[in-house]
Amino acid sequence: MPEFDAYLMVDWSASSRPVTGSDSVWYCVIIRTRDNFSVVALENRATRRRAVAEIKDILREFARREQMTLVGFDFPYGYPTGSAAALGLTDTPAWLSLWREIAARSTLALNRATALWTDWVAERVALAKSRTKFAETRSFTLDSRPVTRNCS
């Protein structure tokens, strides 16, 4: 059984000037009714402003109806010539060097967020257990490193 009631997919390949067709914003809305799927909108908007307004309205309506919605955006990524060099990246090709840097920074941020979340959960568990006068030690693995927390 599908997990979502509605699906909104957006191709954000917009031009800097109003245009439809190639290099413009497209979106598609699909609604699930029981086991049936229906395309209820397939739109091509000439401006980002109009597309954003319509997408906001669609999402507000899904929220009002409490419909679980999967939303996907396909954004084109482009960087100005010289971006990799400006960041001090020297590997070639430059685009790959830039993507590797983004991936490395994203992984670091995710690891920090995971560690903060783990600490927060451990504190809440400790607080709850101190109120019930029950203590135990939990062990688990975080990023391939064993972690032991005394939850008392």
89-147 pLDDT tens trace: 988 898 888 888 888 877 776 777 777 777 777 777 777 766 655 444 444 545 555 55
Contact by Cβ (8 Å): 48, 25? yes
| DSSP designation for 144 | T
pLDDT of amino acid 100: 87
Contact by Cβ (8 Å): 27, 55? yes
pLDDT in tens, 55-102: 999 999 999 999 999 999 988 777 778 888 998 998 889 888 888 888
Rounded percentage of the chain residues whose pLDDT exceeds 70: 81
Expressed in percent and rounded to 5, the helix, strand and coil fractions of the chain are: 40, 30, 30
pLDDT of amino acid 135: 46
Nearest to 12 by CA among 23, 28, 21: 23
pLDDT of amino acid 129: 67
Query: What are the residues whose beta carbons fall under 8 Å from the beta carbon of 146, sequence distance 6 or more?
Result: 139, 140
Q: Which residue has the higher pLDDT, 148 or 54?
A: 54
Task: State mean pLDDT over 29-54.
Answer: 92
pLDDT of amino acid 35: 84
Query: What are the residues whose beta carbons fall under 8 Å from the beta carbon of 18, sequence distance 6 or more?
Result: 46, 47
